[in-house]
Amino acid sequence: MPGYIVAEETFIVGEEFFLEGASPSSEYAVVFEDNGETGYLYACDTSRKNLIVDAMQIYNVKNVTDKHLPSQATIAWSEDGLKAGLFINAYPHAVFDFVEKRGFCRTNFPVPSKDWSAFHENHEWDESAVKLLTTL
């Protein structure tokens, strides 16, 4: 798994769960939340009054076939502390690039916030996004 692992915990899909991973070297953080119905990854900027700058849906609980099994959520950051990824059971689900103000997720939902990501129209997944966690 690329980058620095800053948070890792076992959870059950569909049970309320919260995992935060702050950048090791910047004012950014990401938060993974399962509220019992959906799983979301939030991009946060701790220097702003409104912390959440963007959000990406990771899953709908009702569509997860093995939700009864324990899963491992991992948040990893790039060496420069400006890109973060969410892995579930070592499988990449989402990446935020705070430099480019861009998110990538497998669901491509919802549309990015125009306040933060004015140049990107979607959160479309790109397999090369995971490489952002290993490059400066």
Question: Using one digit for the tens of pLDDT, what is the confidence trace for 102-113?
Answer: 999 999 999 998
CA distances, 49 to each of 14, 52, 88, 106 (Å): 30, 9, 30, 29
DSSP-derived secondary structure letter, 112: P
Tokens of 92: 């990449």
- What's the pTM value of the predicted model, to 2 decimals? 0.94
pLDDT tens for 11-69 read 999 999 999 999 999 999 999 999 999 999 999 999 999 899 999 999 999 999 999 99
Q: Is 66 exposed, middle or buried (0-12, 13-18, 19+ CB in 10 A)?
A: exposed
Strands lying side by side in the sheet with 70-77: 4-12, 70-77, 83-88, 91-97, 102-105
Tokens of 25: 């070297």
